[in-house]
Amino acid sequence: MSGPAVLALVMLLLAGCGGGGGGAAPVATPPDTDTGNSGGSGSSFTPGVFQPFSNFEMLCEVPRTAIDPSTGLPFADSQGTSTDEKNWIRSWSNELYLWYDQIEDVDPQENSTEDYFDLMKTFDLTPAGSPVDRFHFTIPTEEFFELSQSGISVGYGANFAILSSTPPRSVVVAYTEPGSPATSDPVNLLRGARIIGIDGTDMANASTSADVDILNAGLFPEEEGETHQFTIVDLGSEESREVTLTSVAITMTPVQDVQTVSTSSGEVGYLSFTDHIRPAEQELIDAVTQLKAADITDLVLDLRYNGGGFLDIANELAFMIAGPAAASGRTFEELQFNDKHQVFDPVTGATLSPTLFHTSAVGFSAPAGEPLPSLNLSRVFVLTGPGTCSASESIINGLRGIDVEVVQIGSTTCGKPYGFYPFDNCGTTYFSIQFRGINAKNFGDYTNGFSPANIAQLEGIEIPGCSLADDFTHQLGDPEEARFAAALAYRQDGSCPVAGGTGASRASVSLPPLSAINGLVPKSVWLQNRILRR
């Protein structure tokens, strides 16, 4: 598998949590004896010499014969070889990759297609010692289409948080999708429910590879119709219970828990936003319309589990928060490509210019051109975690660029000011960093994320707010949930809660506290990025 598609969390290897290389399912084909001159390309490897990537586009070892759901037309695949596919990767990376001059030019025939793509990136490290590019990945095109267009993925409708990935492991329910197997009788899972066993295997202390495989298979089913037995301890309970979960096609609801809280200084709005997918456009419009009608004076935007997605949706939400007086005609984000492309966008051909705040819907799920509602706020409280990434960080950076105050409650964000256009070739959709984004103040250097100002050790760009562990003893949207409560308190007097863990009910087995500053909610890898439409 390519890139970070699979999150290897020490003993708990979260294989199958989404993403990963692959392409079309293999069928019986003759061995590839290509010498680099097949598929009509007429080229062999010459270091430093690159043909246009269009010369190799859709020359496939296994051409698809189905209908492309994005166009309604047959796929444009033609018979080629694996070397044609690797030549496409090589030329495409040389043309579009942000750090193309840091790629070692390797003979395509010396590696498999997946391994070759893994080599087409920089291996430089940041001053902090982390990889400059940790966002290089592929995903099967069919899977990407289902997720990005309709928010459909295989699962139970429960999103699990990994609080401890090594024995004694701790896995809890972070949030659920309404109307899913996870929320239906008699399962009725809620945030904070602990997973203490799957199919008879102990979650906390399983040590063999076979046992870990069982845990992975249960947490992250790969196909519809898989049935697994879970042993859980509900929040507030001291006894375990058994539930049976069967995987289905889940339609995600990215905007939930829209509500208002009355305070002595006005109404405070809250919404949880988990994924920048197409359905989110209309859901966000509806949420903002509801909050506008409630005449809120502040907004608490919960992005703690939002890894990103389509940048246009981040743009729209930022406008709906700031309103036309602050945002109309101003830069939300300006894209910077590699030094080969300083005048024109190399993908769309458009002249490069700053992307202004959208004042109307782009047409993902709301009618294109529909005016966006707005809250006209001069500040916003953003709840964050390590999974707050990419397009979510663009909301923070874009608003700060026009002097809307952002108060951060939670932990340091992931640090990804980069993005890309997805490219399908032969059934695999490739994601390779193509641009960086800067705001209206020409700032975009937050590769270590954004950090609340009172964090014990500064990790990212410091902004006002409070460092606080995630609290799984309350539901999202509950004003007593630690991060939401901290936002409400900071709003009143600018103070942060005293450092310390959140409380936890004790079950009949020994369990760690139900809080984590860096609890991780694994998601399909494309939802950890900022993606542009082509």
pLDDT digits (tens, 9 = 90+) for 483-516: 999 999 999 999 999 754 433 332 333 334 554 5
211-225 pLDDT, tens digit per residue, is 999 999 999 998 999
Say whether domain 255-420+436-500 belongs to CATH 2.60.40.1150: no
CA dist 466 and 412 (Å) reads 10
Task: Say what the pLDDT of residue 19 is.
Answer: 32
Per-residue pLDDT tens over the stretch 311-359: 999 999 999 999 999 999 999 999 999 999 999 999 999 999 999 999 9
Percentage with pLDDT > 90 across the chain: 74
Given a contact cutoff of 8 angstroms between Cβ atoms, the answer to whether 93 and 120 are in contact is yes
The structural domains of the chain, with segments of one domain joined by +, span 3-24+40-150, 153-251, 255-420+436-500
Q: Does 529 have pLDDT greater than 60?
A: no
pLDDT at 43: 59
* Residue 127 backbone dihedrals phi, psi, to 5 degrees: -55, -25
Q: What is the pLDDT of residue 178?
A: 96
**For the residues 362-382, what does the mean pLDDT come to?**
98
CATH code of domain 153-251: 2.30.42.10
Q: What's the confidence (pLDDT) of residue 449?
A: 93
For 102-150, what is each residue's pLDDT tens digit?
Answer: 999 999 999 999 999 999 999 998 777 888 898 899 989 998 887 767 6
Whole-angstrom CA distances from 71 to 74, 118, 148, 346, 499 are 8, 29, 15, 22, 53
Single-letter amino acid code for the residue at 482: A
CA distance linking residue 356 with residue 78, whole number of Å = 39
Which residue has better confidence, 35 or 202? 202
Q: 518: pLDDT confidence band, cut at 50, 70 and 90? A: low
The pLDDT of 14-19, averaged and rounded, is 29
pTM here is 0.84
Confidence band for 258, pLDDT divided at 50, 70 and 90:
very high
Q: Tokens 């707005």 sit at which residue? A: 374
Q: Which of 198-207, 497-506, 514-523 holds the top average pLDDT? A: 198-207
- The pair of three-digit structure tokens given for residue 270, joined into one six-digit string: 């809250």
